[in-house]
Amino acid sequence: MAITRVKTFTNTVLHGTSFSYTFSAGATNTSDAIVVLVSITDAVVPSSVQITATGWTWTQLGTIITSAGNNSYTACFVAIAPNTTIVTHTVAWVGGSGGSTSFQGAIGDEFTGNDTTGGSTTFDAFNSASSGASGNPTVIVIPANNNDALWGGTYDSVTAVGANFNVGVNDANGDWTEFQILTGGRGTPQTVNFAGSAGGYTIFGVSIKPSGEAPGASQVPQISLLGAWRS
């Protein structure tokens, strides 16, 4: 079964000082794969972040990454939808200054036709990168399976998705997600990139295993800092 994008799971933007906020969302299908990027701007580096929701298990991929160019911090979370009920998801950042944030966001997509195991079996590879100078958000991901969905999300000043990618979420603040469905591709480095305009950037790339594919070995993230910058 081919994996496909179903819809925007969340497109949330807030301007204010709270370090915790909520969004309401539910999956179209039970066991679909969900991937969400969260970001915040603050004068002090947050120590952690989490997403919680009743009945859901959200897993963070890697660590918080930083764009020194604009004091922005980004993390990526994934989940397998437990049901189709719309519930409240809470995003909580910890350890920042607690009062100087001017932007928070959560952008993410839902995919179906995915392996439903979850964890590193479903989300079989990821990578992240950031820069404080101008350039195009770029990161390399090496899928562990053939015919994966390849997903990218960036906080920046984006003007276009990369070659062969489709637009996922556009929050109208310069932050986008993108996706493509690969043909083959197991063990082959894939470029996840966007065209940006100015400022520093943060970017995550994730590959998602389709149902029915023979499992491959999960890939260790490999850092790539090609390009450079978010307004």
Average pLDDT for the chain: 88
Give the CA-trace dihedral at 195, 5, 73, 227, to 10 degrees: -30
pLDDT band at 113 (very low <50, low <70, confident <90, very high): very high
Residue 216: inside a domain: no
Residue 218: inside a domain: no
Residue 227: inside a domain: no
**C-alpha to C-alpha distances, 204 to 64, 73, 146, 179, nearest whole angstrom:** 11, 12, 20, 12
Instruction: Judge contact between 200 and 68, C-beta under 8 A.
Output: yes
- The mean pLDDT value for 196-221 works out to 78
Count the neighbouring beta carbons within 10 Å of the beta carbon of residue 212. 11
Burial 43-74 (b: 16+ CB within 10 A, else e): eeebeebebebeebeeeebeebbbbebbbbbb
Residue 230: inside a domain: no
| pTM of the shown model | 0.90
Residue 217: inside a domain: no
Residue 229: inside a domain: no
Comparison of pLDDT for 85 and 130, the residue scoring more: 85
Q: Which span out of 116-130, 185-199, 203-217 was modeled with the highest average pLDDT? A: 116-130
For residues 176 and 171, give the distance between their C-alpha atoms in angstroms, rounded to a whole number: 6
226 has pLDDT over 50: no
What residues pair up with 109 in beta bridges, in sequence order? 8, 35
Residue 219: inside a domain: no
Comparison of pLDDT for 182 and 227, the residue scoring more: 182
For residues 231 and 147, give the distance between their C-alpha atoms in angstroms, rounded to a whole number: 35
For residues 139 and 194, give the distance between their C-alpha atoms in angstroms, rounded to a whole number: 10
Q: Position of tokens 């979370």?
A: 77
For residues 41 and 45, give the distance between their C-alpha atoms in angstroms, rounded to a whole number: 9
Helix and strand element counts for the chain (H, E): 1, 16
Comparison of pLDDT for 129 and 219, the residue scoring more: 129
Comparison of pLDDT for 114 and 222, the residue scoring more: 114
220 has pLDDT over 60: no
pLDDT band at 78 (very low <50, low <70, confident <90, very high): very high
pLDDT band at 67 (very low <50, low <70, confident <90, very high): confident
Residue range of the domain that includes 145:
9-208
Comparison of pLDDT for 45 and 91, the residue scoring more: 91
pLDDT for the residue 163 = 93
227 has pLDDT over 90: no
Total domains, the chain: 1
Residue 70: inside a domain: yes
